[in-house]
Amino acid sequence: MREASERLATAESTASEHQRRAARDPKAYHSAIYPPGSEYGLCYAESQLMSAVVAVLNESLTESIKGFYKLRKAYATLNEISEAEKRYARSKSSTSVSSIPRQSIDSQRSTGSQRQMPGGFGVEAPRPQTPDGYSSRKAKLAAANMPSDEADGDDDDDFDFVDADEGLSGMPTRSHYLGHLDTGAESAMKGLSLGHSTQSNSASRANLPDMAMQNDELDTVDFSSHPIDEFIHSGTSLCFGILQLMLSLIPPAFSKLLYIIGFKGDRDAGIAMLWRATRYHNINGAMAGLVTLGYYNGMIGFCDILAADSYPKERCKILLGEMREKYPKSRLWLLEEARMRAGDGRLEDAVSMMQGAEKSPLKQVEALQWFENSLNCMYLHRFEDCAKSFLKCVDLNNWSHSLYYYIAGACYVELYRLHKRNSPDKAKRYAARAQELLFTVPQHAGKKRFMARQLPFDVFVTRKISKWQHRASEWSISFIDAIGVSPIEEMIYFWNGYKRMRAEQLEDSLARLAWSESAENATWAREGLDEQSVLWVLKAATLRNLKRTREAKTILRTRIINHEWSEFKGHLKDNWCLPVAHYEMAVNLWIECGGEAGSSEQLMECSEWLEKVAKWESYEMDARIGLKITTARDSLRKCGVTAL
C-alpha cells in the first residue's frame, strides 16, 4: 500500500501537469462537451479516489482524514466535468425541443414506432447495435428474469412530451437525440454538498436511487462517439459510483469523518452508476466491473444482515461471463469467479481453480490469487496447505508479513493439537514449527506504518503473542501449551469464513473449538473470562451459521452479555468479545424473524442491539466489525427501521 500511495501521488502530479498543457496546446483534442484537458482531470480525480481507498484500508483514523480530504478534492474535479455535461445538454435540449413538429409528436404517440425519452425533450432514433455486448446483456437479463437498470426507463407511460411551439412546427425533426443527458452523476449531485450545510440535502437524497436509475440508456453515444468523450463520460460514472459506494460503507467509528467533506454516500445510486459504466469497452468499463464484482463477492460476502436483493447473483454471473470473454487472458476475472464459487460454499472448487490457474505476469495479481487460496484452505481446515500458501504470500507481498506468519503459525498449532495424543513425534515437529513462525511475528509487526501508527492486525497479533508468553511464564508451561482458544478459528471469524462453509466444515470448526474444554487441555480451568468468552463467541457464531440460533443466543446471554464491560478491560485481554457478542445477538434476531419479513417489533429489537455496538467505545478490530454494522443498519433502514 505504501508503493501504491507513492505511485498514486506521482499520477496526481502528472495528470495535473498534462491537464495544464492540454488547455494551452491548440493541437490537443478539444471536445465540444468538456473543457480542454478534462480527460487528464478525470485521471487526476481517479488517482485521488484510489489514494482515499488506500488510506481508508489502513483502518487508521489519522490516515483516513487525509483520504477524506482527497475525496473532497476529487468530488470538486468530477463536479466540474459533470457541470460541463449538463451545460452542453441544456444547450442542445432547447434546440431539440424547438425542432420537433407537433404533428410528429402526435404521430409518435399514436404509433409508438420510436421510443419516447424521459424529460420531455424529443424522440430518439433507433440505437445502433454496437459490439459491446450491451444488447446481449439485456437479452441475458431478460432470459434470467432479472431486473435491469438498462430497462428502467422503457415504460412509455411514465413520461410525456412537451408540445413544441406552434410557430416552429415547420422545422425538420432531428433524427439524432441531442437532449437531456442523465449521467447518474448529475442525479447524485443533487444530494451532495461541498459545504457543511445539509438544509436541503435530506429531501433530495431521498430520491437518489430512483433518479440514478432514470434515463439509463442515455450515454455519450447519443451525442458524441469520440473515444475521449466516452472515456470522460464513463469515467465520471465510475468515479461517482465509487465515491457514493465508499461513503456508504464508512464504519460507525469513522462516521464523523463525513463532516470533513460535508455529504453522505448513497449505496443504491453508487451501484447503479457502476453498473452503467460496465457497458463501456475501455479501462473505465473494466474497472467498474472489478469494483462491482468486488463489492458483491467481497464486501457483501463479508456481511451478515442483508436485504434479500442485496446480491443479484444472476446479474453478476452475466457480468463476469462478459468480462471473461472480453479479457480471456486476465487472471483478475478468474479470481472473481473463484470468490463467487467460495461465496456459494463451493470452497473446493475455488481452491482447485486458483491452484490450477496459470501464473499471472503481474506479481500483484498472483499475490491476490495466493491470498484467496490461503483463505479458502483455512476455511476448509486444510491446515498444512493453508500454512504453505500464506508463507508463499510472504514472498509475493511485502505488506502484512506479521499476519501471514501468524496464520501460518496458528495452522501448525492446530496440527500439533490434532496429533498430540496419537502421534507425539509428529506433534513435537508441528509444535516447533508453530513456535518458530509465531516468534517471527513480532519481528515484522509494526514495520509497516502510516502516520506512526501500527496496523490493526499487527496490534492484534502482537498482543496475542505477548499474552501467550505471559501465560507460559506465569503457569510454568511451554509457549505452545499456553496458547488459548483456537487462534485459527478466531481468524476464520474475523474473515467471516463461517458464512462460506457448508455444514460439514462448520462441524469441523465446532470440533476444533471443543478441544479447549477437553481433557487434553490442562489449562482450561485457569482461563480468565476474556479467553473463555473467545470460545463462546466463536461457538455461538458457528451455531448461528448452522441455523441453531436458539442455542447461539443462549450461549451469548448466559456466558458473555451477562458480564460488565469493565471485566473485559485490562492488559493483554481480548476486549472485543463483549461488543461482538452484541452484534451476534442482532444477527441471530435477524435470522429468526426471517429478515425483512419480520415484524416491526422484531426488527426494532435487532436494531437496538446493533446500535449498542455502533456506539461502543474503541475496542480491538472495531473497524472490521464496523463494516458489518454499517451494512446491517442500511438493510434495516430499507425495512423502515431507523436508529432511535
**Digit-coded pLDDT (tens) for 583-637:** 999 999 999 999 988 999 999 999 999 999 999 998 998 888 988 998 999 899 9
Render pLDDT for 432-486 as a digit per residue (tens, 0 to 9).
999 999 999 998 886 555 444 567 888 899 999 999 999 999 999 999 999 999 9
Mean pLDDT of 344-353: 95
Neighbouring C-alpha atoms within 13 Å toward the C-beta of 34? 31
**pLDDT of 191:** 38
Task: Return the residue matching grid coordinates 502528472.
Answer: 14
Pick the most confident of 1-5, 83-87, 354-358, 522-526.
522-526
pLDDT of residue 113: 37
Beta carbons of 349 and 370 less than 8 angstroms apart: no
How many CB atoms sit inside 10 A of residue 426's CB? 14
- 128-137, 292-301, 304-313 — which is least confidently predicted? 128-137
Whole-angstrom distance, CA of residue 492 vs CA of residue 379: 7
Cβ-based burial of 101 (10 A; exposed 0-12, middle 13-18, buried ≥19) = middle
The SS3 assignment for 572 reads coil
Question: Is 350 a residue whose pLDDT tops 50?
Answer: yes
pLDDT of residue 174: 37
pLDDT at 213: 36
Residue 276 pLDDT more than 60?
A: yes
The pLDDT of residue 247 is: 79
Least confident of 160-169, 243-252, 504-513: 160-169
User: What are the angstrom distances between the C-alpha of 218 and each of 82, 83, 128, 206?
Assistant: 15, 17, 13, 23
Side-chain half-sphere exposure of 77, counting CA atoms within 13 A:
28
pTM equals: 0.77
CA 171 to CA 100: how far, in whole Å?
Answer: 7
| Per-position b or e across 354-389, b if 16+ CB within 10 A of its CB | beebeebeeeebbbbbbbbbbbbbbbbbbbebbbeb
What proportion of the chain, given as a percentage, has pLDDT over 90? 52
- How many CB atoms are closer than 10 A to CB 450? 19
Quickly state the pLDDT bin for 106 (edges 50, 70, 90): very low
Q: 370 is written with which cell numbers?
A: 495466493
Residue 253 has pLDDT above 90, yes or no: no
The total of other beta-carbon atoms located within 10 Å of residue 131's CB is: 8
